[in-house]
A and B are shown apart, each in its own frame.
Chain A
Amino acid sequence: MKKIEAIIKPFKLDEVKEALTKAGVQGLTVSEVKGFGRQKGHTELYRGAEYVVDFLPKVKIEVLLDDSDAARVVEVITSAARTGKIGDGKILVMPVDEVVRIRTGERDSAAV
Chain B
Amino acid sequence: MSDCRSCRWLRFRVLPFVAALVFGTTLLGAFVPVCRADDEPKPDPAGVTTGDRSSVFDAGGTSFVVAEPSDKSAPDYAQKLKDYQEFQAQAAKEPLAMKLADGVGHVRLGTNFAWTLNTGYLVLFMQAGFALLTCGLIRKRNAAHLMMLNFAAYVFAFLAYWAVGFAFQFGAVAVNAAPLNLGGTPTLNSFLIGSGSWGWLGGKGFFLTGPAYDSGANVLTLFEVVFMETAGYIIVGAICERITFGAFLLCELFVGAILYPIFGCWVWGGGWLSQLGTSMNLGHGYVDFAGSTVVHAVGGFCAMALAVVLGPRLGKYGPDGKPRAFPAHNIPFVVTGTFILLFGWMGFNPGSTLGATDLRISVVAINTNLAAVAGAASAMLFWHLRFGKPDITMACNGMLAGLVAITAPCAFVNATSAVIIGILAGIVVCVGVLFNDNVLKIDDPCGAISVHGYGGLLGGISLGLFADGTYGAGWNGIGATSYLGTAGQGVTGLLYGDASQFMCQLIGASTSVLWAFGATFVVFRIVNGIRSMRPSVEDERDGLDVPQFGLLAYPDDELVTE
Contact = CB atoms under 8 A, between A and B. Distances in A.
Interface of A: 44-51
Contacts of A47: 325, 391, 393-394, 433, 437, 447
Contacts of B434: 48
Interface size bracket, B side: 10 to 19
A31 to B, nearest CB: 13
Which of A44, A49, A50, A51 has the most chain B CB atoms closer than 10 A to its own CB?
A49
Interface string B437-455: 1100000000100000000
18 contacts: A44-B327, A45-B325, A45-B391, A46-B325, A46-B326, A46-B327, A46-B328, A46-B391, A47-B393, A48-B323, A48-B387, A48-B433, A48-B434, A48-B438, A49-B324, A50-B322, A51-B325, A51-B327
Interface in B245-272: none
Identify the 5 closest CB pairs spanning chains A and B, nearest first. A46-B325, A49-B325, A51-B325, A49-B323, A46-B327
Which of A44, A45, A50, A51 has the most chain B CB atoms closer than 10 A to its own CB?
A45
B222 to A, nearest CB: 36
Interface of B: 322-328, 387, 389, 391, 393-394, 433-434, 437-438, 447
B270 to A, nearest CB: 41
Contacts of B328: 46
Contacts of A46: 325-328, 391, 393
Contact of A51 (B324, B393, B433, B437): B324
A46 to B, nearest CB: 4
Contacts of A50: 322, 324-325
A44 B327 CA distance: 10
Nearest to B323: A49
Given A44-B327, A46-B325, 18 more contacts: A45-B325, A45-B391, A46-B326, A46-B328, A46-B391, A46-B393, A47-B437, A48-B387, A48-B433, A48-B437, A48-B438, A49-B323, A49-B324, A49-B325, A49-B437, A50-B324, A50-B325, A51-B326
A9 B327 CA distance: 24
Nearest to B388: A45
Contacts of B389: 45
